[in-house]
Amino acid sequence: MSAYSCNNNKSNGYDMCEDTENEYTYEKLMKIREFLAERIHVGIICGSGLGSMGEAVRNSVCIEYKDIPSFPISTVQGHKGRLIFGYVSDVPVMCMQGRFHYYEGYPLSKCVMPVRLMKLLGVTHLIASNAAGGLNPSYKVGDIMLQKDHLNIMGFSGNNPLRGPNDGVTNLVRQLGMEDDVHEGVYTCMGGPNYETVAELRALKVLGVDAVGMSTVHEVTTAKHCGMKCFAFSLITNICSIDYENGEEATCEEVLDVGKSKETILKVLVENVVKFIGEHSNNE
Ligand SMILES: O=P(O)(O)O[C@@H]1C[C@H](O)[C@@H](CO)O1
Ligand code: HPA
């Protein structure tokens, strides 16, 4: 008898099959889940005003956060609040158009839950983006800062910082024709929701911070802990002034406007990085 043929044993009224292939144990289901999970490869988190990167996703299926059981909702301007599943450069991705911030009232464990979900769904590589204020005097509004490291101020007592993004990816970003506008630097996350005081910015500068924002550090820390490879970058949306006499605090509108003005280049950036990951990771 072949593995799939039934013997018409109807002792309980149903067709009974001898074949053990028809028994779905928990272990077997987990194997199926693992197989399917391997089909999603890259996770993308869009920062404030950077949701247009989600338009790089082709053949997409969108699911609103509010429709997903137990999922938090986005409460911040510039975060659509939906998951997009699809393909970028033929690589299967899931994209968060909207992240969760500590200042929204969510504990950090909830802010990073989607990263753990990505891991469960098979994501091996995380691309995290954010809007940030430039502290390094050589940065201009609209520049991109590749996060070569971060300062985990909110977890000063011990989380590991991100070390060394993939050199190849870094070069690839430089090839975007933005050589003069791309930097590698140190990012830090403040608790928010208010922007930093001059005294705080001065302290951050002394600590070696090049750009300051309100996210990403805990996501990257969690992703690293889960064994993912991470590529994180900041769009410099405003320049942080450490001068009491000159310089104004950024506004939310300003931050979102800079994101909008860089939509095209950010989409290309995401496409190139995902393509690179697809070509170099061998579906690991
Ligand atoms: O989600 P990100 O880190 O891009 O958001 C930044 C930090 C604040 O939420 C907002 C400031 O305008 O942008
Ligand atoms: O200057 C800033 N500080 C903190 N978060 C930010 N997000 C955009 N700009 C900034």
> Which atom in ligand 2 lies closest to the alpha carbon of residue 196?
3
Residue 83 pairs in a beta bridge with 63, 96
pTM: 0.83
CB atoms within 10 A of CB 98: 25
Q: Is the separation of the CB atoms in 158 and 77 below 8 Å?
A: no
245 belongs to a structural domain: yes
251: in domain: yes
How far CA 282 is from CA of 20, 101, 128, 229, 270, in Å, comes to: 33, 33, 21, 13, 19
Residues 142/236, Cβ–Cβ less than 8 Å = yes
* In the chain, % of residues over pLDDT 70: 82
Q: Is 256 in the pocket of ligand 2 (CB under 6 A)?
A: no
CA 8 to chain centre: 52
Report the Cα 3 to chain-centroid distance in Å: 44
The total domain count for the chain is 1
Query: Nearest-CA neighbor of 135 among 215, 239, 237?
Result: 239
pLDDT in tens, 225-256: 889 999 999 999 999 999 998 878 889 999 99
Domain of residue 60, CATH code? 3.40.50.1580
89: left (phi over 0), alpha (psi -120 to 50) or beta: left
CB 235 within 8 A of CB 144: yes
Assess if residue 182 is contained within a domain.
yes
Is residue 78 situated within a structural domain?
yes
**Residue pLDDT, tens place only, 190-232:** 998 999 999 999 999 999 999 999 999 999 999 998 899 999 9
Length of the chain: 284
Over residues 164-183, the mean pLDDT reads 64
**pLDDT, average across residues 130-139:** 97
Q: Is 214 in the pocket of ligand 2 (CB under 6 A)?
A: yes
Ligand 2 binding pocket includes 132 (Cβ within 6 Å): yes
Question: What is the number of the ligand 1 atom nearest to the C-alpha of 48?
Answer: 4
Closest-CA residue to 127 (of 66, 65, 185, 44): 44
**CB of 218 sitting under 6 A from ligand 1:** no
Ligand 2 close to Cβ of residue 230 (< 6 A): no
User: Which residue's CA is minimally distant from atom 2 of ligand 2?
Assistant: 133
The C-alpha atoms of residue 212 and residue 227 are separated, in whole angstroms, by 25
Domain annotation covers residue 223: yes
How far apart are the CA of 12 and the centre of ligand 2, in A? 66
State which of 195, 200, 209 you would mutate to test the pocket of ligand 2, scoring each by most atoms of that ligand within 8 A of its C-beta.
Answer: 195
Residue, of 178 and 188, whose pLDDT is higher: 188
Choose the residue to mutate in 200, 238, 249 for probing ligand 2, maximizing ligand atoms within 8 Å of C-beta. 238
Q: In terms of pLDDT, which residue wins out, 77 or 9? A: 77
Nearest-CA neighbor of 237 among 140, 112, 96? 140
Distance from Cα 212 to the centre of ligand 2, integer Å:
6
Q: Regarding predicted confidence, which is higher, 18 or 239?
A: 239
Domain housing 179: 37-277
- Asked whether 188 lines ligand 1 (CB < 6 A), one says no
Is residue 28, in this structure, part of any structural domain at all?
no
Residue 22 lies in a domain: no
For residue 243, is it within any domain?
yes
